[in-house]
Amino acid sequence: QASSRTPYKKLRSHGITNMLGWGILMIIGAILARYFKQWAPIWFYSHTLVQSLGFVLGVAGVICGLVLENKFDADVSTHKGLGIFILVLGCLQ
């Protein structure tokens, strides 16, 4: 029974790491850069730290998603396309 739950744990970790990385931390990093410049140089270091952590979590979530796609042989082309688009935007940012 534990082995049947393993794919769902990976699926959950894919969702959680992407939500935390791209959906929360990257936004908080942008807010820090925009609204906290009066606290120089702390705003820059905290912005860099939060953005970097968000990017690393996002990339980990993308890798987890690719592993899940190969494991389940799922047809998630739209979801995968959106994920790659978000990854490219994160790299450009």
Q: What mean pLDDT comes out for the span 50-76? A: 89
pLDDT at 76 over 80: yes
Report yes or no on 64 lying in a domain: yes
Report yes or no on 1 lying in a domain: no
Report yes or no on 3 lying in a domain: no
d(C-alpha 90, C-alpha 38), whole Å:
26
Tokens of 33: 């850069």
Report yes or no on 5 lying in a domain: no
Give the chain's mean pLDDT.
Answer: 88
- Radius of gyration over alpha carbons of the chain, in Å? 16
Place of tokens 């990854």: 87
Report yes or no on 48 lying in a domain: yes
Q: Which pLDDT tens digit goes with each residue over 9-50?
A: 888 889 999 999 999 999 999 999 999 999 999 999 999 999
Domain range for residue 88?
A: 11-92
pLDDT at 53 over 90: yes
Q: Where does residue 40 fall: left (phi above 0), alpha (psi -120 to 50 degrees), or beta otherwise? A: beta
Domain count, the chain: 1
Report yes or no on 6 lying in a domain: no
Report yes or no on 38 lying in a domain: yes
Amino acid at 61: G
pLDDT of residue 47: 95
